[in-house]
Amino acid sequence: MSKACNLSLNEGDFFSDKKPANTGKYISKSHSLERKLESRGRFIRSSRKNPCPICDRTKDDKCAWNSEVIHCYNGISNYPPRGMKLGEVFHVDYGPTRDWALVKKNAGFSGNHWIFIPDKPIGNAKPLIKKHIPKVSIPRLNKLFNVVYDNVQEALKPELSFLNLQQLEAVSVKTTEALAETKTILAMSKQFSQQQLINDIQLANLFETTRTFYHQLSNRAEQIKQFRVDFLGEMEVGSDHI
């Protein structure tokens, strides 16, 4: 992965070949349909017009969700972030809260769904994960994003099979750091209103790109873990599968 162009969000849309995910009439109709389905207690299913909020699945209806739960199918080409552990939170632009906690793996009717629920207080209960995120302006967020971009490339670019043990450890550390940074940017983006995330093209691109980075880094962490098991003979530590 290379930095092919100036990625400062202040200088235009760097996703020139990709239209913003949320635009005009389509969003209005889509959200209206979702509200109708949810009000009737029905699940929305993944399709070309309704990508899964977690894995962006569109080719079939294996993912299902409503405002209370997301059943994300763990498939081959589309799947939830495999580096996630039970209790961890994934940031998506959907539902009563944009933070969804992973509560089950290998569940659902197929036995191959990951289950997410909103990460929010129930009654007097505390949130699953307490966050202290500083306020940030859009220009400041842009600058942070450009720094994180470089760190993400350092984590994703190396081919694992060509690395020695010391280099592999360095990439592993960089991946962990970059993953934490993308989580922070997603949390900071939550400070802006839904309308801003839709109408401000720079902010929308920043949010969508950071989500993509989060997916890629989560998969990278899983690749490193599996590489250690397969080629270095390390034992896989524990399992939180249900």
The answer on pLDDT for 131 being more than 70 is: no
218 Cα distance to chain centroid: 9
Q: At what angle do helices 201-231 and 165-189 cross, to 10 degrees?
A: 150
The residues facing 116 across adjacent strands are 70, 102
> What is the pLDDT of the chain when averaged over all its residues?
75
Among positive and negative, which fits the CA dihedral 29, 31, 34, 39? negative
Confidence of residue 14 (pLDDT cuts 50, 70, 90): very low
More confident residue, 201 or 14: 201
Residue 138: predicted pLDDT: 85
Give the integer Cα–Cα distance in Å for 24 and 119. 29
Give the integer Cα–Cα distance in Å for 242 and 221. 21
pLDDT exceeding 70 applies to what percent of the chain?
70
Which tens digits make up the pLDDT trace of 168-214?
888 888 898 888 889 888 888 888 888 888 888 888 899 899 999 99
More confident residue, 168 or 7: 168
Q: For residue 190, what are its two tokens?
A: 């939550």
The answer on pLDDT for 8 being more than 50 is: no
The answer on pLDDT for 24 being more than 50 is: no
Candidates 45, 35, 115, 46; CA nearest to 80 is: 115
Residue 12: predicted pLDDT: 37
Evaluate whether 24 touches 42 at the Cβ level (below 8 Å).
Answer: no
**Residue 12 region by backbone torsions, left for phi larger than 0, else alpha for psi between -120 and 50, else beta:** left
Mean pLDDT, range 40-63, rounded to an integer:
86
Convert 33-48 to b/e letters by CB count within 10 Å (16 or more is b). ebeebbeeeeebbbee
Residue type, 211: R
Give the integer Cα–Cα distance in Å for 147 and 152. 9
Residue 210: predicted pLDDT: 92
Which tens digits make up the pLDDT trace of 32-46?
444 444 444 578 889
**118: helix, strand or coil:** strand
Residue 38: predicted pLDDT: 45
The answer on pLDDT for 166 being more than 50 is: yes
DSSP 53-104: TTT---SSS--EE-SS-EEEE--SSS---TT--TT-EEE-S-SSSSEEEEEE
